[in-house]
Each structure stands twice: as structure tokens, then as C-alpha cells.
Amino acid sequence: MKRLFCIMLATALLVCATGVTASAGDTLVDVRCDEQRYSTKMPAGLSTTWQEGNGLRIWGGEPGYVPNVLIWRRSTRLSDPAAYISKTYTNHMKDTYGDSLVGIALHEYYPAGGKQLPGASYIYKAASGATINQIHLVEVREDGDVEYDARFLNDERDATLAILDAAVRYYQPNGALQPTATPAPNIPKISVTPASVTVPALRDYVDSRFSMKLPQGWKIMTQGEHMSFCFKAWDPASPNRSVFMFMKLEPFLKSQDARRTYQRVDESLGGNSMYQLFANAPVMETRTLQGFLNSLPEAIAFCEKYYPSGLTIDPDVLPRLLNVEVLEKTPSPLPAPAECQENVIARITFENGQPCEGLITAQPLESLYYDFYGVDGAPCTVRMFMGFTAPVSEMQALEPVLSECLGSFAFNQSYVNQAVGISNDETKALLAQASAMQAAHDAMVDAWYARETAHDITLQKWSDSFMGYERLYDNVTGEVYLADAGFYFTYRLHRGLYSNDHLQIVDENTEQYYLQPADYYITK
């Protein structure tokens, strides 16, 4: 019954939306609003009140209650006033009055002051139990848009609409409006900072072994030589922005049983035997990309233990990928040995102080069986581990730069020639690496643009929640804001006091705003 009642009231409002014109016999007096630099007229004998951040109100009776007419000169222009009324302002009314809002009627053209203005009529129940009628109109002007709001009881309709008619008819700006209006003192002012990612210019990085392009100001670290060569480049201001490549990583054991057996044998030989290295080696439970990524934290701990003695690479060169989840996989075009069980390019998520994502590839190799006291003790190797990472909120902007950096890596010919004196296998591997890197770059670009947008939405939700943000959008400009969780609750209750009252929270009906980067952070 309540839904039917709402529809019936809305229909009645549509029938009544004809406007009322002040009669020729009414005595009108000038009204001047210095705060927003305009003037208009109102019937003689009425009073006005100015409220900072809310506007000028003309009282049709006793100040503080209905009937009244509010005039508010906007500091921002509306590109689509009909959408503003039907969505932004109507949602504001729904948020404010909830079940007490019992009637809504939209007007494409409402007659007021000799003009036809877009607007809407509302009926709501006040806390006192009184039924309040409200008409909200928007006038789009070159000198600054104006909003008018009339509220009245049923028997006050004609008198109130006469006030509205005069206000609209005689409205006249007296100069340019200041660009922003200050909210009421007890309401926090919205301060914003740009959220766009600054992408630095690329520069050529060259040493005696290789060359590549890197963003200005990035650091790079290398370890090993020839088939054991690896590098990681990163932004010191945001280390999760990184590019890396490892020709080979080893050793990895196949099982926890193998490691325990190595530990037992090492302890039986005094604890410092030739088996000690394997007794502490990381375990790759499955020779898959996920199995390898799960073992990376152990690989870092392994390097931290043995790097001081020169037995491993520096642990700092390894990427910090915690709680890794593989979201999407596509076959990799890179040539792989027959013992490679999974050769894919993957989109991953991980944590390292903030939600991050990456595009990577790696080739975990299954080694031959080696019977070591009843378990398979053969260590495994990972080849061609490479990719790039960034915080979730930045990946869309940084992906073209990061993939270009990875694709630009190439060994110098002089360095390849040095490998001739080492082994033909290493020479062939280094020569093949140049084409492999370019193929990986092309495949990663293809994988990025073929990604699932549903995962994009899920990732942004995860990132916002992890960082303590709620995502808002401006219903007029389409801009996206990130605010501290809980901001919208206060903003919604006092929306009319803000100079920008267009913000809406992103919900299940507006998830497309998770697919575009944030434009601003709302800061305290």
C-alpha cells in the first residue's frame, strides 16, 4: 500500500505542477544577497536569513519553519541539470528522509518567474508529523547556475509559489561568484589532493653487460653473471613499482620430506656437511607457477642466511611477493625445455605493505628423480622468471611504462661474446634471451589488454578496503574520489552545506567507477 500511495502522490504532484504567479497587486521589495552577489525581489513584510554554505532563505511566515523559499547560487556549473535533479538531488532526498519521503515527481519544465526550469516535487513527513511539500528547481545561467527550493504545507501552496515566482523572475547577479563557498563552521571542509600517478620520463641505462630503459630516478641492482644473471629495478619512492628478470634461480627441493631428510643427514655428520645447503633450501611443493611463487619467501630467507658467505645472490634483489594469488593465466610464447610443466604468463595479486598486482612469467623445471635415503632429493630450477609489479591503484597508469622497460632489456654483444669462452650452451642461451625478452614483452602486453574487467573491479575493492578508503564519484563531472572510510556518512547527512554536493558512494549499481583511476583523495 505504501508503494501505491507514493505513486498516487507523485501523480497528483504532476497535475499540480503549474506554478503560481505573483499578482499585480502584490507589493514587492528588493532583496540583496551580498554573500553570493545577487539581488531579487520578495513580497513586502517577509524576512530573510543567510546561512553560510546553505544560501539565502525567504521566510513566508515565522523564521525557522515552513513556508520558505531558498536561493542558492552555485559555484560549479551543471553539465546535465536534469540528471542532477533526477539522480543526485533525488538520491540526497532519499538519503535524508528515507521512508518519510512518500512522493516524488520529476518535471522536465516547471513554470516559474516566466521561465521553464527543470526540477522535481517531493512530499515527505516531517518529524512533527506534518506533511511537507517541496519543489526544487535549477536555472542554468552563463553567469552561474542557481538553485531554488520552496517548502510549504498544503494550505500555504499559492502564497509560497508566489514567493518562488518573484525570486526567479527578478533574480539578477551583481558580479562574479567566488569559485568556492565555505561550509558551515561545524562541518569539515572538503580538501582534495590529486591522485594521478606521475609517470617519469624514461632514460637509457647502460653498463658493460646490458642496456635497457628505466624511469628517471629509479634504482637498479644486478647479481650473477651470464646464465646466473639477474636484475631488479625499482622506484625508491614506491618500491612496489618494479621490473625484474632472473635467468635462473636454484636450488628448490620438491618436498618437505626431502628437506627433513637433508637436515637429518647433515645433523648426523656434525651439522656442517656438504648437505647443509640443501637442508635449508626452499621447498617448491609443485612445479607450477603458483608453487614457485609460494616458495619465494623461503627463497629470500635462504639467501639471507647464505649470502654473507657468498653461496647465494643478495636477497634484496628478489621481489617481495607475499600472499600471492594467480588471477589469470595465458600460455607463454617463450620456448621452454621439455621438463617445464607450466609455461604461462600470469596476472597476480600480492601484498607488500599495500595491495599490489603484477604480470609475470617463469618456467619451473622438473628435475630427474634422485633417491636420497628413500626420498626424491633432486633439486629443481626456475628459468626465465621476469615481470613487473605496481600498487593496484597505479597499475593501469604504469603498465605501458613498465612493460616497455622490460621489453627494452638486451645483453650487449660484447658480453655475449665473452660467454663463448665459457660454454657453447651459455652462448646459445644468452643469444636466445634477447628474442625471448621481446616475445615476453609482447605477450605480457597482450595478456594485460585481454584481462578480465571483473578482476579489475575485485582488485580495486580489495585495495580500497585494505587502505581504509571508500570510493565516491561526482555525479556531474564523473570524477572519482577516495576518502577515509566513514567520510560519506557525515557528508550525506550534511550534503546541502557543501559547495560540492554531487558526491555519491560507489555501490553495486555503479561499479564501473572501479575501472577508472581515482582523480582525487579527500584529505582531512
pLDDT at 194: 82
Q: How many CB atoms lie within 10 A of CB 369?
A: 11
pLDDT at 129: 85
pLDDT at 205: 94
pLDDT at 67: 95
- Listed in sequence order, the residues at least 6 apart from 188 whose beta carbon sits closer than 8 Å to its beta carbon are 490, 524
Gap between the Cα atoms of 42 and 209, Å rounded: 83
pLDDT at 181: 43
pLDDT at 424: 55
pLDDT by 10-residue block (mean), the chain, 524 residues: 34 42 70 92 93 84 90 80 86 86 94 95 89 95 91 94 96 76 49 79 91 94 89 95 94 94 92 89 94 95 94 95 91 84 92 92 90 92 93 90 89 73 56 63 76 86 87 90 86 75 88 88 79
pLDDT at 186: 47
| The C-alpha cell that represents 448 in the structure block | 594485460
pLDDT at 138: 95
Gap between the Cα atoms of 272 and 267, Å rounded: 8
pLDDT at 360: 93
Tell me which long-range contacts 210-219 makes (C-beta under 8 A, separation of at least 24): 210/409, 210/410, 210/411, 210/412, 210/415, 211/408, 211/409, 211/410, 211/412, 212/405, 212/408, 212/409, 212/410, 213/404, 213/405, 213/408, 214/243, 214/405, 215/401, 215/405
Q: Which CATH architecture has domain 2-173?
A: 3-Layer(aba) Sandwich (3.40)
pLDDT at 172: 94
pLDDT at 312: 94
pLDDT at 387: 93
Do 293 and 284 touch, CB atoms closer than 8 A?
no
Amino acid code (one letter) for 390: A
pLDDT at 434: 56
Gap between the Cα atoms of 221 and 336, Å rounded: 26
- Listed in sequence order, the residues at least 6 apart from 103 whose beta carbon sits closer than 8 Å to its beta carbon are 6, 9, 10, 12, 13, 121, 122, 123, 124
Domain ranges of the chain: 2-173, 213-456
